[in-house]
Amino acid sequence: MIREEIGAGEFDRAALLWNDYAAAIRQEIDRGTCTRDRVAEAGELLDWARRVVYCVRMRTQARVHSMQVASRYDTADVPRPSTLRASL
């Protein structure tokens, strides 16, 4: 579920789900029932999420940079076509 939320760009929802997941792991550790496989699973999830979020961040930064560069060449005298997107 966390992967799906991250994949959909729902980072706030993913963070809430992660908090629940981490709390469950902490409880397992406190009870002495947490396995190495469970810890490895959490580590793999974190590594995957880090890579995905990093890629999203880089793509967003590139878009912002492109907009900044484009604004330097934007003139008020030239009519611009509509930039309304009907879909992503």
Report yes or no on 85 lying in a domain. Answer: no
Q: How many domains does the chain have?
A: 1
Does residue 82 fall inside a structural domain? Answer: no
pLDDT of residue 13: 96
What's the DSSP call for residue 46? H
Whether 74 maps to a domain, the answer reads: no
79, part of any domain: no
pLDDT of residue 35: 96
Host domain of residue 46: 2-68
pLDDT top residue among 9 and 85: 9
Phi, psi of 61 (to 5 degrees): -60, -40
| pTM, full prediction | 0.68
pLDDT in tens, 25-84: 999 999 999 999 999 999 999 999 999 999 999 999 988 888 888 877 766 665 666 666
CA separation for the pair 34, 27 (Å, rounded): 8
